[in-house]
């Protein structure tokens, strides 16, 4: 039985590591942040402590005698009472197999050795914010079951706000420009409106489609919350294993959105958001991911966001390059027409380039 005498305003962070030096290093960092560190020397001891404390975050070593970090994670995630507690693994970044296995067990992130206090503080802040956002979404979905029509509309607007808050966490992880979301929304709408006036797309793009697209477009990369910061900040080419981890942001993002809507009615906004998150890296010629769709098999909303996202990315500074001007951006994108993008859609985008931000 979980103890009922819990301090509501205290953030408890459980540290699980058989090495005393690691426990004490993390303890001091967490205490300096104003949170309460709770220490365990093993997975077995940690499982007992979870029964007596309200834990908001777990930091666990992988290599421990007896129950290792993976087995400990599995037991936490298998328990309905504790499965929502985010788990950050302690691991060496040069072992991508550990990362992939950890994500498969629903672990949320990694802290690499040797410890860098600034990185640890940043990771803790991100995952505490994410946990709070997920808890808010669960509560919103519970309330939606008993609200009348007008109240449901209001809650859906609040749900979008929480999603955007979650998306801002993903944007910070990926180190995107702070105006990235606004540009992506605006440019997606401008392109869709122009397509609506064309004979090629006029019959399939409605005013409602455009309004929903503008809201759903920035959620394309919500799955970035599950990708380690080191991958986004890496200035050299990604390894094959790192690329696999990166590509999972599409299916993870779609799962987050499906889970959010699990208890609700059919929702055009969520359904379009799922399509965009899952398929915005599919290519026109079928060489994309995660399913290798091609041509018109790819949902139209995902095609639009993929094209606009490419443009926005080229117009923004990245850790590995500077930003391009509009002319250079379109020259680069021209080389990918028929490969990544629909020729017809790119033609429309090129016609309205002066309206783009």
Tens digits of per-residue pLDDT, 16-67?
998 899 999 999 999 999 999 999 999 999 999 999 899 999 999 888 888 9
Percentages (nearest 5) of helix, strand, coil residues in the chain = 60, 10, 35
Distance from C-alpha of 113 to C-alpha of 90, rounded to nearest angstrom: 7
Residue 333 pLDDT: 96
Average pLDDT (322-331) is 92
Q: With pLDDT > 70 as the criterion, what percentage of the chain qualifies?
A: 82
Residue 199 has pLDDT above 80, yes or no: yes
CA angle 340, 343, 191 (to 5 degrees): 90
Torsion of CA 131, 267, 273, 174, to 10 degrees: -20
Calculate the alpha carbon distances from 86 to 198, 241, 249 in Å.
Answer: 47, 23, 17
DSSP secondary structure, 167-189, as one string: HHHHHHHHT--TTHHHHHHHHHH
Residue 152 has pLDDT above 50, yes or no: no
Average pLDDT (320-325) is 84
Distance from C-alpha of 312 to C-alpha of 123, rounded to nearest angstrom: 27
Residue 1 pLDDT: 39
Residue 110 has pLDDT above 90, yes or no: no
Residue 264 pLDDT: 54
To which residue do tokens 């029509």 refer? 149
Residue 83 pLDDT: 87
Residue 101 pLDDT: 72
Residue 232 has pLDDT above 90, yes or no: no
Residue 186 has pLDDT above 80, yes or no: yes
Model pTM greater than 0.85? Answer: no
**Stronger pLDDT, 152 or 253, i.e. the higher one:** 253
Residue 45 pLDDT: 94
49-87: b or e for each residue (b if 16 or more CB lie within 10 Å)? ebeebbbbbbbbbbebeebbbbebbebbbeeeebeebbb
Q: Cite the DSSP H helix spans in 60-109.
A: 69-78, 96-104
Domains of the chain: 12-115 (3.40.50.2300), 149-355 (1.10.3210.10)
DSSP secondary structure, 1-20, as one string: ---S---TT--EEEEE-S-H
Residue 75 pLDDT: 92
**Stronger pLDDT, 320 or 329, i.e. the higher one:** 329
Cβ atoms of residues 90 and 22 within 8 Å: yes
Tokens representing 273 are 């958001």
Torsion of CA 169, 175, 181, 186, to 10 degrees: -170
Average pLDDT value for the chain: 84
Residue 4 has pLDDT above 50, yes or no: no
Average pLDDT (297-314) is 96
Residue 2 has pLDDT above 50, yes or no: no
Residue 151 has pLDDT above 60, yes or no: no
H or E stretch covering 39: strand 36-40
Residue 323 has pLDDT above 80, yes or no: yes
Q: With pLDDT > 90 as the criterion, what percentage of the chain qualifies?
A: 45
């Amino acid at each position: 039985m979980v103890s009922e005498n819990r301090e509501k305003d205290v953030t408890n962070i459980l540290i699980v590591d058989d090495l005393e030096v690691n426990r004490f290093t993390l303890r001091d960092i967490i205490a300096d942040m104003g949170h309460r560190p709770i220490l365990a020397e093993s997975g077995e001891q940690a499982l007992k402590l979870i029964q007596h404390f309200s834990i908001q975050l777990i930091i666990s070593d992988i290599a421990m005698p007896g129950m290792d970090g993976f087995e400990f994670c599995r037991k936490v995630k298998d328990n309905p009472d504790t499965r929502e507690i985010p788990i950050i693994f302690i691991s060496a970044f040069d072992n991508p197999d550990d990362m992939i296995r950890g994500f498969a067990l629903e672990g949320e992130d990694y802290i690499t050795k040797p410890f860098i206090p600034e990185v640890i503080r940043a990771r803790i802040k991100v995952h505490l914010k994410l946990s709070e956002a997920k808890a808010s979404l669960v509560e919103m979905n519970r309330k939606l079951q008993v609200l009348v029509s007008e109240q449901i509309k209001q809650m859906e607007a609040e749900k979008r706000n929480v999603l955007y808050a979650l998306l801002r966490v993903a944007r910070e992880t990926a180190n995107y420009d702070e105006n990235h979301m606004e540009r992506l929304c605006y440019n997606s709408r401008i392109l869709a409106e122009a397509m609506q006036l064309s004979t090629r797309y006029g019959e399939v793009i409605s005013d409602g489609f455009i309004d929903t697209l503008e809201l759903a477009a920035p959620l394309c990369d919500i799955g970035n919350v599950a990708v380690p910061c080191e991958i986004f900040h890496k200035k050299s080419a990604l390894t094959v294993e790192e690329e696999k981890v990166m590509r999972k942001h599409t299916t993870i993002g779609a799962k987050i959105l499906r889970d959010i809507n699990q208890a609700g009615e059919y929702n055009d906004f969520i359904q379009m958001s799922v399509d965009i998150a899952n398929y915005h890296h599919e290519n026109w010629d079928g060489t994309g991911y995660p399913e290798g769709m091609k041509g018109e098999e790819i949902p139209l909303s995902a095609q639009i966001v993929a094209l606009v996202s490419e443009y926005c990315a080229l117009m923004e500074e990245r850790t590995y390059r500077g930003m391009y001007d509009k002319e250079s951006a379109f020259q680069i994108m021209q080389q990918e027409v028929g490969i990544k993008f629909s020729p017809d859609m790119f033609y429309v985008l090129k016609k309205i380039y002066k309206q783009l931000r």
